[in-house]
Chain A
């Protein structure tokens, strides 16, 4: 079961300018607002995005102020993530297009009952005129948790990964060897090898066999005529 994605709309990024709008002045700061038009109650556990030349990221959230009214549209602004470093050095393009995931661990408070989410992007270096976040995705529950729970259904996987080397060896020596077997490890290795070889054949099988028109050894006469 995939983690539930949250529907939202992204307002166009606003580049912060000083004074006259016409004058070009690289402030190195831009703001992306995210609103949730359809949802009444928004809870975010993970934020995924791809960076594009942003040096630092601050995330602020407008949390619904439910003290007055349950569905009031007023909220308080709180800083959820403060100045998260996305690029190690602002001037160099190292890690400038990396993927990031912000989980609840990195958030100052859990994002619940959110009205608006605001990303404040900063790029102090004048080298990069354009900076933004791409491919923003929000998830209700953590993807990692989901993956773990789906893996829980495969107990044998955990059995072998969790068991330490020692324990494994212990079990091997404990395992009752069938009569007349010298080394079960050798047998296992041989069998695995044989299985791997048969896999090579499986992967080389053609998608289609020779094309034939007969069904159980007899032909349909209409298929053989030319028209």
Chain B
């Protein structure tokens, strides 16, 4: 009996302690932050949750403007994940609320600030090319569809450039940092034709393009294109990675509708 009573007392004390701890957590907003970040993790399903947590709290501490907050919101997850769309909506809302007075839409100026921030990782030439294509006028209302397309064009370009870099590496298997101009040009021309030919919504055209990019027919067309250079007899200087990526970006931007 005595023993049981003692247990009860202890558990009562314990319960009090929990209540106090709870109060503290509430007061310091820690509960809210943890809950928020857990919701975000569940929504975005990051591959590396620890890194995600670290980034989240680092950004939380850094008190930034609405543009960078919107930018972070977009960067929370990869664009192929379902949560991405939701994040873009939230980013659009963050930007809209930051205006004075708060609005539901945004104008061209805010949109420009955002895409510039998103494209900060690109090299100067590539960024200029991209912005030229996706920017609209400062005073214009940017509807959500346009906003989303612009954001996607930015984030997908990152993926594209990474892939283009590995293509360059495959071409430059000696590791010299530059590749013969004729070969690069031939490859990039193939890329451009395939992008343009699939702009029309035609399933047969898609199959056709897929076929032209298959190893055997690619070999044939590359040979014909490179052969054209040889008899002409004016050797061009080899292409560097930067030039290659810039030209690849041109091919990519063919798929993007210009806004201006």
Contact = CB atoms under 8 A, between A and B. Distances in A.
Q: Do A and B come from one complex?
A: yes
Interface of A: 154, 156-157, 160, 168, 171-172, 175-188, 190-195, 197-202, 204-210, 212
Contact of B216 (A171, A180, A193, A206): A171
Contact of A176 (B141, B179, B223): B223
B186 A178 contact: yes
B160 A197 contact: yes
Contacts of A186: 170
A190 B164 CA distance: 8
A210 B219 contact: no
Nearest to B180: A180
A199 B219 CA distance: 23
Interface string B241-260: 00000001001101111010
B142 interface: yes
Nearest to B197: A195
Contacts of A191: 167, 187, 190-191, 194, 213, 218
A207 B170 contact: no
A70 B39 CA distance: 81
A181 B213 contact: no
A206 B146 contact: yes
A13 B153 CA distance: 59
B255 A190 contact: no
A209 B150 CA distance: 11
A200 B251 CA distance: 14
A179 B152 contact: no
Contacts of B145: 206-208
B204 A154 contact: yes
A209 B195 CA distance: 21
B219 A175 contact: yes
A171 to B, nearest CB: 5
Nearest to A163: B216
A195 B198 contact: yes
A194 B164 contact: yes
Contact of B218 (A179, A188, A202, A212): A188
Residue of A175, A176, A181, A194 ringed by the most chain B CB atoms within 10 A: A194
Contacts of A175: 215-216, 219-220
B31 interface: no
Interface in B174-224: 179-180, 183, 186-187, 190-191, 194-195, 198-199, 204, 207-211, 213-220, 222-223
A195 B195 contact: yes
Given A197-B163, A210-B141, A185 B149 contact: no
A184 B218 contact: yes
28 contacts: A157-B207, A171-B216, A172-B215, A175-B219, A178-B183, A178-B226, A179-B183, A180-B183, A181-B171, A182-B170, A186-B170, A187-B215, A187-B218, A188-B214, A188-B215, A190-B167, A192-B213, A194-B163, A194-B164, A195-B191, A195-B209, A197-B252, A198-B255, A201-B252, A204-B153, A205-B256, A206-B257, A210-B146
Given A178-B226, A179-B226, A190-B163, A205 B257 contact: yes
Contacts of A154: 204, 207-208
A158 to B, nearest CB: 11
Question: 10 nearest interchain CB pairs?
Answer: A206-B145, A190-B167, A175-B219, A182-B173, A188-B215, A178-B222, A202-B255, A204-B152, A198-B255, A201-B255
Nearest to A207: B145
